[in-house]
């Protein structure tokens, strides 16, 4: 059986619900029927376009080498929006940021790995890419995500003045093409301390209930992870 790994910060926010039982059902469903591809090639495309100056046609050609047609078309639907957003930007510097962890509770440490930061004319930019085609993080879940990111990352003195932008590549309905909506995190309401505690407790309860459902004592030994929360990396499970 596939393993239930600790979801990333953005997946915590997206899959959060008030009811821990609903969270548990969502997590179990994602383990039993996980998505079959990752958007990681698009992060490489951003670096190629923004930093290395690779011609756009060459970046497209690289994406066209993806074997599965549905995955290839999905990536190619986002790529022009990335190109247009970063057109004309020549960063003074570009760097990746090491993975950080947010303590949710009950020993649950949720990872957050920003794709990059870059600087232009003295302004530091921290873009976060939301590649979900449908049901992107929104409303209170978006507030939760921004609140947690601010705590885990933007309290770093080197990053506190960064302009945190959410690049949402979703589409308004299944038959429409994707479009880019840039959300300035400064415009997103923060979640208060008490409400944040409630939301994180609900998620922790849902996560551990999912573990109980997936890995019961009657499960065959080979189906049970030795330590389901010791390795919080999750490259593809919730993409």
| DSSP structure string for the chain | ----PPPPHHHHHHH--SSHHHHHHHHHHHHHS--S--SHHHHHHHHIIIII---HHHHHHHHHT-S-HHHHHHHHHHHHHHHHHHTT---SEEE----EEEEEETTEEEEE----EEEETTEEEEEEEE--SSS-S-HHHHHHHHHHHHHHTTTSTTTTT-EEEEEE---SSTTSPP--EEEEGGGSPPPPHHHHHHHHHHHHHHHHHHHHHHS-TTS-GGGS-S-TTS----SSTT-
Tell me what percent of the residues of the chain surpass a pLDDT of 90: 68
Domain-embedded: residue 211? yes
**Claim: this prediction has a pTM higher than 0.75:** yes
Tally of structural domains, the chain? 1
State which residues form the domain around 135. 9-36+90-217
What would the pLDDT profile of 54-79 be if each residue is shown by its tens digit? 999 999 999 999 989 989 999 999 99
Domain-embedded: residue 21? yes
Domain-embedded: residue 3? no
How far apart CA 62 and CA 59 sit, in angstroms, is 5
Residue 90 confidence (pLDDT) above 80:
yes
Domain-embedded: residue 100? yes
For all residues of the chain together, what is the average pLDDT? 87
Domain-embedded: residue 66? no
Mean pLDDT of 124-133: 94
Residue 128 confidence (pLDDT) above 60:
yes
Domain-embedded: residue 229? no
Q: Pick the residue with more confidence: 89 or 238?
A: 89
Strand 163-168 to strand 181-184: parallel, antiparallel, or no bridges (unpaired)? antiparallel
Domain-embedded: residue 74? no
Domain-embedded: residue 225? no
- Give the pLDDT of residue 190: 97
């Amino acid at each position: 059986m596939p393993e239930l790994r600790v979801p990333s910060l953005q997946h915590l926010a997206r899959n959060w619900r008030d009811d821990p039982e609903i969270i548990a059902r969502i997590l179990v469903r994602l383990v039993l029927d996980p998505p079959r591809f990752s958007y990681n090639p698009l992060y490489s495309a951003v670096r190629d376009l923004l930093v290395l100056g690779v011609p756009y046609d060459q970046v497209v050609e690289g994406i066209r080498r993806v074997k599965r047609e549905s995955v290839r078309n999905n990536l190619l639907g986002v790529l022009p929006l990335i190109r247009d957003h970063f057109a004309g930007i020549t960063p003074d510097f570009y760097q990746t940021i090491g993975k950080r962890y947010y303590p949710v509770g009950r020993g649950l440490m949720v990872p957050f790995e920003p794709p990059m930061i870059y600087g232009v004319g003295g302004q530091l930019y921290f873009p976060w890419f939301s590649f979900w085609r449908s049901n992107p993080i929104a409303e209170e879940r978006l507030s939760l995500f921004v609140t947690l990111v601010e705590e885990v990352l933007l309290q770093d003195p080197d990053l506190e003045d960064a302009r945190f932008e959410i690049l949402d590549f979703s589409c308004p309905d299944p038959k429409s093409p994707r479009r880019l909506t840039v959300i300035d995190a400064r415009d997103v309401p923060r979640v208060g301390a008490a409400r944040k505690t409630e939301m994180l407790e609900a998620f922790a309860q849902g996560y551990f209930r999912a573990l109980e459902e997936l890995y019961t004592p009657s499960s065959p030994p080979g189906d049970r992870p030795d330590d389901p929360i010791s390795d919080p990396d999750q490259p593809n499970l919730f993409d």
